[in-house]
Structure 1
Amino acid sequence: MGFALKRPDDAAGSAVPAIVIGLFVSFGGVLFGYDTGTISGILAMKFWREMFSTGYVDPNDGLPGVTSSQSSMIVSLLSAGTFFGALGAAPLADTFGRRLAMIINSFVFCVGVTLQTASTAIPLFGRWAVLCWSGFPLYQSETAPKWIRDVIVGAYQLAITFGLLLASIVNNATKDRNDTGCYRIPVAVQFAWAIILVAGMIVLPETPRFFIKKGKHYEAAKSLARLRRLDVNDISIIEELAEIQAHHESELRMGDANYLEIMRGSIGKRLATGCAIQALQQLAGINFILYYGTTFFQNSGIQNSFIISLITSIINLISTLPGMYLTDKTGRRPLLLFGAVGMCVSQLIVAIVGTVTTSTISNQVLIAFVCVYIFFFASSWGPIAWVVTGELFPLKARAKCISITTATCWLFNCVIAYATPYMVNSGPRNANLQSKVFFIWGGFCFLCAIFVYTCIYETKGLSLEQIDELYSKVSVAWKSPGFVSSANHVDVLDVVDSELDSHAQLELQANEKWDGQTATHMENIYAKADF
C-alpha cells in the first residue's frame, strides 16, 4: 500500500478516478494553509505595520506596530468565524450534499477575501475570509476506496503545507514593497485558489453515501460507478452499495442521529476522541509557528526571519510525505505516538536552550529544533488527525460529528491565536514568556502521547462500516490493533428488529443464519440495491 498504491487483489474496478478526485478536493487545504500562512508574514511587514499602527511602538525594534490585543484580534477572528461556520456545515452538507456545500462555502470565502483586500485599517482587515474546512475530508473519506483512504485524506494536510509554502514565497516576494501591494497581493492571490477549487467541484460527483442517506439509490450507483470506473450494473458496484445501504438502514433502526444521540454511547465516545485529537493538534504548538513564527524569529534576534519561515514551510511540506506513506504502513497509533514523543522532546529542548542562554548558538539551536519539531508534527499529527476524524463516524452522524470536531479545531485555534501574543510578547499586561512558551507546548505534546495510547483505536485497512464494528466489539483502544472484522452488514439488516440495540446482537443473529456464499445471498444483494 502507501505511495506504491498497491491495490488488494479483491478490489474491483479502477481506483484512479477516486484518487484523482480525492487529491483534487484536497486542494481545499491549499486555501486553508495559504490563508493561515499569509498572516505570519504580513504582521512583520514594515509598510503594513506603519499603515495599520495606531500609535504603538514595538519595544523590540522601536518601529511602529500593533499591540498584543490588536494582533490577537487580527489573527484569531478568522478562527472564531470558522468555528461557527464549521458548526453550520452539518445541516448544509446533509441538506445540499457534500459537493454543493463546499461550493457555497468557497463563495463565502471569496467575499471575505474581498473585504480583507480592500482594507486600509485594522477593523476591516480582521481576516474575514471564512471558509468551512470540514467538508473536504468528509468528501474524501466518503469517496475513496478503503485501501487508499488514509493516503487520500492525508493529502489534505499535504495541501495545507503546500499552501503554507506558497504563502511564505509570496510574502517573501512582497515584504519590501513600500505600498499597499505588500499585503494586498498575498491576500488577493487567494481568489485564484478559490476559483480553481470551485471550477473543479462543479464537475465532481456527489458522494455515494450521501445519495444512500437520501434514498437515491440509482444516483448512488452512478456516482460509485464513476468513482470505480465500472458499469453501473456491475456486481461489485451492487455489492458495495448494498453494504452501504444495509449498514445505513441498520443504523437508522437503532436510533436517529440527532445532536443528543451523537453525544451518547459509541458515537459519543468517538466524538470525544475526534474533538480531543483536533484540540491537541492545535495545542501541540504548530499554530504558534504558523501565525507568529516570523515575528517570533524577528524578536529573537534572528536575521532574515522571512527566509527562516520559508525554510520551515519547506520542511513542513516535505515531512508530510513520509507521514502519508507511513499512515498505511504502520497504522494510526504507532505514528501518532512517535510524533507526540518527538514533538515533546523537540519543544522542551527549544524551551530549555532559549531560557538559559541568549547567544547566537541558542538561536541556531532554536531554529534547528523548531525544524525538528515541524518534521515530527508534519509526519504524524498533521495528516493523521484529519484521517482519524474523517473515518471515525457512522454515516447517519458523519456530517454532524465532523462539523463538531472541525469546530473544535477552530475553537482551540482561535484561543491559541488570541492568547499567544499576551503569552510571548513583552510589555504591560503581557507574560513575556518568549522561548519559555515552548514548555507549555511541550507539556501538551506529552499529553498527546498519553491520549494516543489510551484513546486512539487502530483503524488501518478497515472500511467505514467495519470501524463501527470495531468500536462495538473492542472496549479499549490498546486492544484494537488485533481486531479482525467478521460481520456482513447485508445479513445484519435481515435480522434487525426493534428489540435489538447493539451491533454485537445484530451480528450474533446474522451469523446464525449465514450459510456461505450462496445464490440466495446474491439475490438478496440485488434486491436490497433497489435500483
Structure 2
Amino acid sequence: MAEFTNIDLNNSETLVNTTSIHKVDSKETIAMPLRFKKTRNILISGTIAVGGIILGYDTGSISGMLNMPAYIRVLGDADRSVYPPTYFIPSWRSGLVVGAVSLGGLFGSFLFGKAADRFGRRLTLAGTTGLLCISTLSQGAGYMYWPVVFSARLCTGLAIGGISAVCPMYISETAASPSLQTLLISSFQLLLTIGILIGQGVAYGASNLPNWSIWQFMLPLLGVLLFAMPLCVVALLGIIPESTKYLVSNGKIAEAKKSIAQITGLSADDKYIAEQVDIAVNTHKATLGEGDASWKQIFDVSSKMRYRVILAIGVMMLQQLSGINYFFYYGTSLFKEICGGNASDGSAGLSPYATSMILGSVNIIGTICLLPLVCKFPRRIVLLTGTAVMLVAFIAFSTLGQFFLRNSTTLVINPAVGYTMIGLVCIFIVGFAGTWAPCAFVVISEMFPLHHLRSMAISLAVASNWFINSCITFMSPIATRYLGYAFGYVFSGFLVLAMFVVYFFVYETKGLLPGQIEEMFTSNEVTPRNSETWRKRKVFANESMRTEEKV
C-alpha cells in the first residue's frame, strides 16, 4: 500500500505532490504517494554518489602500491652497491607522486566548480570522470617514467577535485526534500569510506601476485575505471537528469520541468512541477538581485563575513592537520614496520595490507555508527570530544613508536607494542570518522545560510583543505624519514590548536534557522563561548512556535 502525506503548497521546501487535491485547514494541499518517488530519487542521486567511491579509491590504493616490489622497481632507483641490486623510491619522489592528486584537486575543485555553472552539472560530471579515465590509462602506459606518472596523477587530481565539487552540489540539487538531501549527501561520505576500503582490498589482493609482474600494481591502478567509466557513460547518455537549478538559471524552463519529471516520475504537466519551477525561478531572481559575489564582499567586516571566511578556512585546514591522511596515504608503509615481523627470529607479523584493510573497515563502521552524533549533539561538543580522543590516541601512538616499539639494544620489534599501536590508530580513526569528517563540512555550510557569497566562501574553505592535504602528502615521507614516529607529535600540536580554535572561535549553530544564524553572527552580545546558551533559547522558541501551529 502506498504511503500518503499532506503537503502545504505555501512551503517552498515541500516534497513532490500529485494525485488528489482537497482542503485541510483552509489551505490547498495535495496528497502524494511517497514510496515510489523516494525510490526513484534515491536511485538517481545514488548513481551520482558513486563519485564518492572514486574519491576514496585512490586514497586506499596508492598506499599499497607504494610498497609493492614491482612498483618500487619501475618507479624507484637502484642501489647497485649491493648484489643483487635493491630498489627504493626516494622519499621526495613518493611525496610528489602521492601529493600530485591533492595538488590537482586544489585547482580541480575551482576549475570544474565554475564549469558546472557554465556547462551544467551533468556534462561537467561526464567531463571529470572522462578525464579520470584518460589520466589513469596514461599512468598505466607511462609507468616506467616517474615524471609521466606525476603528470598523469596531477590530471587525476584535477578530475577528483572536480568530482568532489560537482557531486555533492549535484546531489543536493536533485534531492526532493531537505531530509532526503541530508540522507543522500551523507551517503556520499559513506561511499567515500567504502571506496577507501575497496582500494585497500584490491591492493591487498594484487600484493599476492608475483613481484616481477606489472599487474601487481596495474590492477589497483586500473580498478578505478570500473566506477569511473560507467558513471561517465550514464552522465553522457542523460540517464541522470540535469540540475533544475542550473536549467532555471539559464532560462531553460521547459527542460527544468522535464528534469523534475524524470526525478519524480510525474508528468511534466503536473501542478507540483509548475510550483517547483516557479519557486526555483523566484529564488534565482532573488539571487540576481543581490549581485555577483566579489572578493571585497567576502572580506566585509560589517556582517562578520571576514571572520566567518577565515574561520571556515581554519576549520577545513585543521581537519587535514589532524593527521588522518598520514595513516591512509602512508599506512601500509608504517604498518610494514610495526607488524611486519622480525627477520632475526623468523616471526611472521600481520600483513601491512591486511592492517590497512582493518583500518578501512573501522573507518566505515565508525562513520555509520557515529554519524548520528552530528545530528543529535551540538557541533562544538562533537568537535571538542573528537579532538580530545584523537589527541590522546596520537600522543600514545607516537610515544610507543618512538620509545618502546624496538628494543634499544637488539632493535627487535615488540609485537605487543605494535598491536597496541594499531589499536590506537583504530581509536583515532573512529574519533575522526564520527566527528571531524562530517562535522567540519556541516559547520562551514551553516556559517553562510543566507548569503549569495556562500558558494565562493565554501569553495575557499574546501580549496584550503586540498592545499593542506597536498602539503601533508608531500612532507610526510620526508618528515618520517628524519623524525620517525615523533612526527606524530607535530599532528598532536595541531590537534591542541584545533581545540583552542573550536572553543574560542566556533559558534554553535545546531538547530537554528538561517535568519537566527545571521542574527547570532551580527550580534555584539553573542560570543562563541556563550553561543550555546543563546542557541538553546532560540531552539526552544522555535519548538514552541511549532507546537502552537499544530494546536
Q: Sort the Cα spacing of 1:259 and 1:218 in 2 relative to 1 into closer, same or farther, 3 A.
A: farther
> Would you say 1:169 and 2:216 are equivalent positions?
no
**Aligned residue in 2 for 1:254:** 290
Contact 1:150 1:327 in 2 (8 A): no
Match 1:136 to one of 142, 163, 167:
167
Residue aligned with 1:324, SS: helix
- In the alignment, the residues of structure 1 paired with residue 310 and residue 174 of structure 2 have an alpha-carbon distance, to the nearest angstrom, of 25
1:418 maps to amino acid: F
Q: Does residue 431 of structure 2 align to residue 376 of structure 1?
A: yes
Deviation, 1:236, is 5.6
> Residue 12 of structure 1 aligns to which amino acid in structure 2?
L
Asked if 1:320 corresponds to 2:359, the answer is: no
One of 178, 188, 213 as aligned partner of 1:156: 188
Q: Show the counterpart of 1:449.
A: 499
The offset of 1:332, in angstroms, is: 4.0
> Distance in 2 between the 1:270 and 1:207 partners?
29
Tell me the SS of whatever aligns to 1:55: strand
Residue in 2 that maps onto 1:20: 43
Which digits, 9 at most, give the CA deviation of each residue in 1:486-517, with x for residues without a partner?
A: 99xxxxxxxxxxxxxxxxxxxxxxxxxxxx9x
The letter for the 2-side match of 1:419 is M
Partner of 2:421: 366
Question: What is the alpha-carbon root mean square deviation over aligned residues?
Answer: 3.3
| 1:96 alignment partner in structure 2 | 119
Task: Tell me which amino acid in the other structure corresponds to 1:122.
Answer: W
Are residue 208 (structure 1) and residue 244 (structure 2) matched? yes
Q: Which residue of 1 aligns with 2:328?
A: 290
Give the letter aligned to residue 407 of structure 1.
A
Task: Give distance in 2, aligned partners of 1:240 and 1:454.
Answer: 42
In structure 1, what is the Cα distance between the partners aligned to 2:204 and 2:15?
A: 47
Q: Does 2:221 correspond to 1:190?
A: no
User: For the Cα contact (< 8 Å) 1:211–1:217, is it kept in 2?
Assistant: yes
SS at match of 2:87: coil
TM-score scaled by structure 1? 0.79
Q: State yes or no: 1:410 paired with 2:466.
A: yes
Q: Judge conservation of contact 1:248–1:395 (CA < 8 Å) in 2.
A: no
TM-score by length of 2: 0.77
Matched, 1:423 2:454: no
Q: 1:338 to 1:236 in 2, by over 3 A?
A: farther
Matches within 5 A, 1:338-353: 338-353=385-400
Q: Counterparts of 1:8 and 1:271 in 2: how far apart (Å)?
A: 40
Q: Aligned partners of 2:172 and 2:443: how far apart in 1?
A: 10
Per-residue deviation at 1:231? 5.5
Evaluate the alpha carbon distance shift between residue 387 and residue 245 of structure 1 in structure 2; reply closer, same or farther with a 3 A threshold.
farther
Equivalent in the alignment of 2:148: 124
Deviations 1:26-85 (A, max 9, x none): 2111111111121110111122212322235999xx952111111111111111122111
What secondary structure is seen at the aligned counterpart in 2 of 1:203?
Answer: coil
Is the contact between residue 511 and residue 539 of structure 2 (CA under 8 Å) also seen in structure 1?
no
Kindly tell me: are residues 263 and 413 of structure 1, through their superposed partners in 2, closer, same or farther at Cα, counting changes over 3 Å?
Answer: same
Map 1:39-78; keep pairs closer than 5 Å: 39-56=62-79, 63-78=86-101
- Paired residue total: 471
2:290 and 2:452 in contact (8 A); partners too: no
Shift of the 390–472 alpha-carbon distance from structure 1 to 2, 3 Å rule, reads closer
Q: Secondary structure at the match of 1:380?
A: helix
Q: In 2, Cα distance between the equivalents of 1:138 and 1:34?
A: 20
1:438 and 2:488 correspond = yes
1:501 match: none
Q: 1:147 to 1:222 in 2, by over 3 A?
A: same
Which amino acid letter does the alignment assign opposite residue 176 of structure 1?
N
What is the Cα deviation at residue 139 of structure 1? 1.7
Pair 1:162–1:35, CA change in 2 (3 A):
same
Q: For residue 519 of structure 2, what is the aligned residue in structure 1? A: 473
Flag the 1:361–1:196 CA change in 2: closer, same or farther, 3 A: same
Matches within 5 A, 1:484-495: none
Task: Note if 1:311 corresponds to 2:329.
Answer: no
Q: CA deviation at 1:353?
A: 2.3
**Secondary structure class of the residue paired with 2:399:** helix
Alpha-carbon distance change, 216 to 447 in structure 1, aligned in 2, over 3 angstroms: farther
- Letter of the 2:386 counterpart: G
Match of 1:87 in 2: 110
* Deviation readout 1:457-482 (Å, 9 max, x if unpaired): 555567xxx53x24421125534744
**Would you say the 8 A contact 2:257–2:273 is kept in 1?**
yes
AA aligned to 2:185 is V
**What secondary structure, in the 3-state scheme, does the structure 2 residue paired with 1:64 have?**
strand
Change (3 A) 1:348 1:239: farther
Deviates more, 1:175-184 or 1:256-265: 256-265
Letter in 1 for 2:323: G
**Could you tell me whether the CA contact under 8 Å between 2:98 and 2:474 is conserved in 1?**
yes
Quick check: 1:332–1:460 contact (8 Å CA) kept in 2? yes
Q: Take 2:81 and 2:425, find their aligned partners in 1: how far apart are those partners?
A: 25
The answer on whether the counterparts of 2:54 and 2:192 sit within 8 Å (CA) in structure 1 is: yes
Identity of aligned residues (%): 28
Contact 1:34 1:167 in 2 (8 A): yes
Change (3 A) 1:381 1:290: same
Flag the 1:183–1:481 CA change in 2: closer, same or farther, 3 A.
Answer: farther
C-alpha distance 423-262 of structure 1, shift in aligned 2 (>3 A): same
Match of 1:504 in 2: none
Tell me whether 20-29 or 231-240 shows the greater mean CA deviation: 231-240
Please state how far the C-alpha of 1:435 moved relative to its aligned partner: 1.9
Deviation at 1:230, TM superposition (A): 5.2
**Which has the larger Rg?**
2
**Contact 1:90–1:400, Cα closer than 8 Å, also in 2:** no
> In the alignment, residue 519 of structure 2 is paired with which amino acid?
K
Distance in 1 between residues matched to 2:258 and 2:395, nearest whole Å = 53
Per-residue Cα deviation, 1:99-137 (whole angstroms, up to 9, x for no partner) = 222211111111210111111132222224231221111
Label 1:392 to 1:125 Cα distance change in 2 as closer, same or farther (>3 A): same
Asked if structure 1 preserves the Cα contact closer than 8 Å seen for 2:293 and 2:453, the reply is: yes
Letter in 1 for 2:327: I
Per the alignment, residue 278 of structure 1 pairs with: 316
Which of the numbers 326, 329, 338 marks the counterpart of 2:376?
329
CA contact (8 A) 1:12 1:228 kept: no
Cα separation, 2, equivalents of 1:433 and 1:222: 59
CA distance in 2, matches of 1:257, 1:49: 48
How has the CA–CA distance of structure 1 residues 56 and 280 changed in structure 2, closer, same or farther, with 3 Å as cutoff? farther
Letter in 1 for 2:314: A
1:206 CA drift (Å): 2.2
11-20 or 441-450, which deviates more: 11-20
